[in-house]
Chains A and B, each alone.
Chain A
Amino acid sequence: MLRSTVFIPVLIVCTLFFSTSHGQTPDWEEITRKAGGQTVYFNGWGGSDPINDYIRWAADQVEERYQLHVRHVKVSDIGEVVSRIVAEKSAGRDQGGSVDLMWINGENFNTMKQNNLLQPPYSQLLPNIALVDTENKKSTLYDFTVPVDNMEVPWGMAQLVFLYDQALMDTHPRNMMELLMFAKEHPGRVAYPLPPNFHGTTFLKQALLELGAEKDPLFKPVSEADFEAVTAPLWNFLDQLHPYMWRRGTAFPANGSELKRLLADGEIFIAISFNPAEASNGIATGELPDSIRTYVHDSGTIGNSHFLAIPFNASAKEGALVFANFLLSPEAQARKSDPAVWGDPTVLAMDKLSPEDKALFTATPRGIATLSAEELGAVLLEPHPSWVEALEKSWLTRYSR
Chain B
Amino acid sequence: MAGQSRSPLQFFPYLTLAAFLVPVLLGLAGTWLPALGYLPTIGAKSFTLQPWRDLLDHPSLPGALSATLVSGLSATLLSVFISLWITTHLYKTASWSYIERALAPLLAIPHAAFALGLSFLVAPSGWLIRLVSPWLSGFAHPPDWSITGDPLAISLTITMIFKEVPFLLLLTIAALNQLDVRRTLWVGRSLGFQEFKVWTRLIIPQLYPMLRLPVLTVLAYSLSVVDLALIIGPSLPPPFAVLIDRWFNDPDISMRLVGGAGATLLFLLITVFITIFLLAERIVVMLSRPLLTNGRRRSPLGRMNQGARLAAITTMAASVLSFVLLVIWSFTGSWRFPDAYPQSLSLFYWTKSLPLVAGPLATAALVGVLSACIALVLVLGCLENERSLPQSRIDALSRGSIWVIYLPLLIPQIGFLFGIQTILVRLHLEGSWFSLVWIHLVFVLPYIFLTLAATYRTYDQRYAQVAAILSGSPLRSFFRVKLVMLAKPILFSLAVGFAVSIAQYLPTLYVGAGRFSTITTETVSLAGGSDRRVIAVYALCQFLLPFLVYALAIGLPALLFRNRQLMKN
Q: Which residues of A does B touch, CB under 8 Å? A: 41, 43, 45-49, 52, 71, 73-77, 79-84, 86-93, 96, 98-99, 106-108, 110-111, 115, 168, 187-189, 194, 196, 246-248, 250-258, 260-262, 264-267, 285-287, 289, 389, 393, 396-397, 399-401
Residue of B253, B333, B513 near A98 (CB, 8 A) is B513
Assess A98 versus B525: contact at CB under 8 Å? Given A84-B510, A87-B421, A287-B531.
no
B568 at the interface (CB under 8 A from A): no
B521 at the interface (CB under 8 A from A): yes
Interface pair A250/B337, CB less than 8 Å apart = no
Interface pair A254/B235, CB less than 8 Å apart = yes
Q: Which residues of B does A touch, CB under 8 Å? A: 39-42, 58-60, 62-63, 123-125, 141-142, 144, 146, 149-151, 230, 234-237, 246, 248-253, 256, 333-334, 336-337, 344, 346, 349, 418, 421-423, 425-426, 428, 430-431, 509-510, 513-515, 517, 521-522, 524-534
Residue of A74, A90, A107 near B251 (CB, 8 A) is A107
Report chain A residues within 8 Å CB of B63. Answer: 400-401
Interface pair B230/A389, CB less than 8 Å apart = no
Residue of A108, A247, A257, A401 near B59 (CB, 8 A) is A401
Interface pair A266/B337, CB less than 8 Å apart = yes
Interface pair B531/A45, CB less than 8 Å apart = no
Assess A82 versus B251: contact at CB under 8 Å? Given A74-B525, A76-B525, A267-B142.
yes
Report chain B residues within 8 Å CB of A91. Answer: 422-423, 425-426
Whole-angstrom CA separation of A258 from B154 in the bound complex:
20
Report chain A residues within 8 Å CB of B349. Answer: 49
Interface pair B41/A87, CB less than 8 Å apart = yes
B129 CB to closest chain A CB (Å) equals: 10
Report chain B residues within 8 Å CB of A399. Answer: 236
Assess A251 versus B151: contact at CB under 8 Å? Given A87-B41, A90-B39.
yes
Report chain A residues within 8 Å CB of B509. Answer: 75, 80
Report chain B residues within 8 Å CB of A285. Answer: 531
Report chain A residues within 8 Å CB of B521. Answer: 74
Whole-angstrom CA separation of A75 from B428 in the bound complex:
22
Interface pair A251/B144, CB less than 8 Å apart = no
B84 CB to closest chain A CB (Å) equals: 33
Report chain A residues within 8 Å CB of B515. Answer: 41, 98
Interface pair A252/B236, CB less than 8 Å apart = yes
Report chain A residues within 8 Å CB of B141. Answer: 168, 189, 266-267
Interface pair B514/A99, CB less than 8 Å apart = yes
Whole-angstrom CA separation of A71 from B516 in the bound complex:
10
Interface pair A115/B42, CB less than 8 Å apart = yes
Please give 17 more A-B residue pairs, beta carbons under 8 A apart, in addition to A49-B526, A84-B510: A47-B527, A47-B529, A48-B531, A74-B525, A84-B514, A87-B418, A88-B425, A89-B41, A98-B515, A187-B144, A196-B250, A254-B235, A265-B142, A265-B337, A267-B141, A285-B531, A286-B344
Interface pair A83/B248, CB less than 8 Å apart = yes
Whole-angstrom CA separation of A92 from B532 in the bound complex:
42
Whole-angstrom CA separation of A81 from B509 in the bound complex:
9
Interface pair A79/B251, CB less than 8 Å apart = yes
Report 14 cross-chain contacts, Cβ distance below 8 Å, ordered by A residue.
A46-B522, A46-B528, A48-B529, A76-B524, A79-B250, A82-B251, A83-B248, A83-B256, A251-B236, A257-B529, A265-B336, A287-B530, A289-B336, A400-B59
Report chain A residues within 8 Å CB of B337. Answer: 265-266
Whole-angstrom CA separation of A247 from B151 in the bound complex:
10
Report chain A residues within 8 Å CB of B527. Answer: 47, 76
Can you list the 5 inter-chain pairs with the closest CB atoms, starting with the nearest? A79-B249, A188-B144, A90-B41, A47-B529, A107-B251
Interface pair A251/B249, CB less than 8 Å apart = no
Residue of A87, A89, A251 near B150 (CB, 8 A) is A251
Whole-angstrom CA separation of A251 from B336 in the bound complex:
23
Interface pair A47/B528, CB less than 8 Å apart = yes
Report chain A residues within 8 Å CB of B58. Answer: 396
B34 CB to closest chain A CB (Å) equals: 11
B388 CB to closest chain A CB (Å) equals: 42
Whole-angstrom CA separation of A173 from B72 in the bound complex:
42
Interface pair B422/A87, CB less than 8 Å apart = yes
Report chain B residues within 8 Å CB of A81. Answer: 514
- From B123, B235, B517, residue with most partner A Cβ within 10 Å: B235
Interface pair B251/A108, CB less than 8 Å apart = yes
Assess A396 versus B60: contact at CB under 8 Å? Given A41-B514, A75-B525, A267-B125.
yes
Report chain B residues within 8 Å CB of A110. Answer: 251
Interface pair A261/B334, CB less than 8 Å apart = no
Interface pair A73/B514, CB less than 8 Å apart = yes
Interface pair A255/B528, CB less than 8 Å apart = yes
Interface pair B125/A265, CB less than 8 Å apart = yes
Whole-angstrom CA separation of A107 from B530 in the bound complex:
24
Report chain A residues within 8 Å CB of B334. Answer: 286, 289
Report chain B residues within 8 Å CB of A189. Answer: 141, 144
Interface pair A84/B421, CB less than 8 Å apart = yes
B199 CB to closest chain A CB (Å) equals: 41
Whole-angstrom CA separation of A99 from B421 in the bound complex:
14
B192 CB to closest chain A CB (Å) equals: 54
Assess A264 versus B530: contact at CB under 8 Å? Given A77-B249, A399-B236.
yes
Closest to B509 in A: A80
Interface pair B236/A250, CB less than 8 Å apart = yes
Report chain B residues within 8 Å CB of A87. Answer: 41, 418, 421-422, 425
Whole-angstrom CA separation of A389 from B144 in the bound complex:
31
Report chain B residues within 8 Å CB of A115. Answer: 41-42, 253
Interface pair A73/B517, CB less than 8 Å apart = yes
- From A73, A108, A252, A289, residue with most partner B Cβ within 10 Å: A73
Closest to B126 in A: A265
Whole-angstrom CA separation of A260 from B524 in the bound complex:
18
Whole-angstrom CA separation of A260 from B525 in the bound complex:
17
A318 CB to closest chain B CB (Å) equals: 19
Closest to B62 in A: A401
Whole-angstrom CA separation of A252 from B62 in the bound complex:
18
Residue of B125, B230, B251, B531 near A266 (CB, 8 A) is B125
Whole-angstrom CA separation of A264 from B531 in the bound complex:
10
Report chain B residues within 8 Å CB of A250. Answer: 146, 151, 236
B455 CB to closest chain A CB (Å) equals: 38
Interface pair A90/B528, CB less than 8 Å apart = no
Interface pair B230/A254, CB less than 8 Å apart = yes
Interface pair A86/B125, CB less than 8 Å apart = no
Interface pair A107/B252, CB less than 8 Å apart = yes
Residue of A76, A79, A247, A265 near B144 (CB, 8 A) is A247
Interface pair B253/A86, CB less than 8 Å apart = yes
Whole-angstrom CA separation of A206 from B149 in the bound complex:
26
Interface pair B425/A93, CB less than 8 Å apart = yes
Report chain A residues within 8 Å CB of B146. Answer: 247, 250-251
Whole-angstrom CA separation of A17 from B423 in the bound complex:
53
Whole-angstrom CA separation of A389 from B258 in the bound complex:
15
Report chain B residues within 8 Å CB of A286. Answer: 333-334, 344, 346
Report chain A residues within 8 Å CB of B534. Answer: 49
Closest to B513 in A: A98
Residue of B235, B253, B430, B526 near A252 (CB, 8 A) is B235
Whole-angstrom CA separation of A45 from B524 in the bound complex:
11
Report chain A residues within 8 Å CB of B60. Answer: 396, 400
Report chain B residues within 8 Å CB of A47. Answer: 525-530
Residue of A45, A52, A90 near B422 (CB, 8 A) is A90
Report chain B residues within 8 Å CB of A71. Answer: 514
Interface pair B426/A74, CB less than 8 Å apart = no
Report chain A residues within 8 Å CB of B524. Answer: 76
Whole-angstrom CA separation of A75 from B336 in the bound complex:
29
A103 CB to closest chain B CB (Å) equals: 12
Interface pair B235/A396, CB less than 8 Å apart = no
Report chain A residues within 8 Å CB of B237. Answer: 400-401
Whole-angstrom CA separation of A194 from B237 in the bound complex:
10
Closest to A249 in B: B236
Whole-angstrom CA separation of A107 from B334 in the bound complex:
36
Assess A251 versus B234: contact at CB under 8 Å? Given A86-B253, A93-B425, A266-B337.
yes
Interface pair B430/A98, CB less than 8 Å apart = yes
Whole-angstrom CA separation of A187 from B143 in the bound complex:
10
Report chain B residues within 8 Å CB of A393. Answer: 59
